[in-house]
Amino acid sequence: MTPMVKAEGVHKSFGAAHILKGIDLEVAPREVFCLVGPSGSGKSTFLRCINHLEQINAGRLYVDGELVGYRQKGDKLYELKDSEVALKRRDIGMVFQRFNLFPHMTALENVMEAPIQVKGEAKAVARERAERLLDRVGLADKAKNYPSQLSGGQQQRVAIARALAMEPKLMLFDEPTSALDPELVGDVLDVMRGLAEDGMTMIVVTHEMGFAREVGDALVFMDDGVVVESGNPRDVLTNPQHDRTKAFLSKVL
Give residue-wise pLDDT tens across range 43-61.
999 999 999 999 999 999 9
pTM over 0.85: yes
Q: What is the pLDDT of residue 241?
A: 96
Of the pLDDT bands very low, low, confident and very high (cuts 50, 70, 90), residue 98 is confident
What is residue 10's three-state secondary structure? Answer: strand
Cβ-count burial 163-185 (b if 16+ within 10 Å, e if not): bbbbebebbbbbbbbeebeeebb
pLDDT for 29-42, tens place per residue? 999 999 999 999 99
The pLDDT of residue 42 is: 96
What is the rounded average pLDDT of the residues 116-138?
Answer: 96
pLDDT at 1: 85
Q: What pLDDT score does 66 carry?
A: 93
Cα(94)–Cα(168) distance, integer angstroms: 9
**Which pLDDT band, with edges at 50, 70 and 90, does 10 fall under?**
very high
Q: How far apart are CA 4 and CA 29, in angstroms?
A: 5
Would you place residue 153 in the very low, low, confident or very high pLDDT band (cuts 50, 70, 90)? very high
Beta bridge partners of 94: 172
Tell whether the model's pLDDT for residue 193 goes beyond 90. Answer: yes
What 8-state DSSP symbol labels residue 80? P
**Does residue 232 have a pLDDT over 90?**
yes
Beta bridge partners of 58: 11
pLDDT tens, position by position, 79-93: 999 999 988 889 999
Cα–Cα distance, 185 to 175 (Å, whole number): 11
Amino acid at 165: A
- Please compute the mean of the pLDDT values over residues 218-231 and round it to a whole number: 97
pLDDT at 87: 87
Mean pLDDT, to the nearest integer, of 171-196? 94
Q: Name the residue among 73, 95, 68, 61 with its Cα closest to residue 84.
A: 68
Mean pLDDT (whole number) for 239-248: 96
**Distance of alpha carbon 228 from alpha carbon 44, whole angstroms:** 16
Q: Is the pLDDT of residue 230 over 90?
A: yes
Cα torsion at 230, 24, 40, 208 (round to 10°)? -40
The Cβ-side half-sphere exposure at 167, using a 13 Å CA radius, reads 8
**pLDDT-derived band of residue 129, with 50, 70 and 90 as boundaries?**
very high
168 DSSP 8-state letter: -
Residue among 118, 127, 177 nearest 152 (CA): 177
Position 194 confidence tier, pLDDT thresholds 50, 70, 90:
very high
Q: What is the dihedral of CA 103, 105, 109, 110, to 10 degrees?
A: -10
Residues forming beta bridges with residue 202, ordered by sequence position: 32, 171
Write down the pLDDT at residue 76: 86
pLDDT at 216 over 90: yes
Percent of the chain with pLDDT over 70: 100
pLDDT of residue 179: 87
What's 139's DSSP letter?
A: -
Q: How far is CA 229 from CA 91, 93, 213, 221, in A?
A: 29, 26, 15, 5
Closest CA to 91 of 114, 109, 112, 125: 114
Q: Are 43 and 29 in contact (CB under 8 A)?
A: no
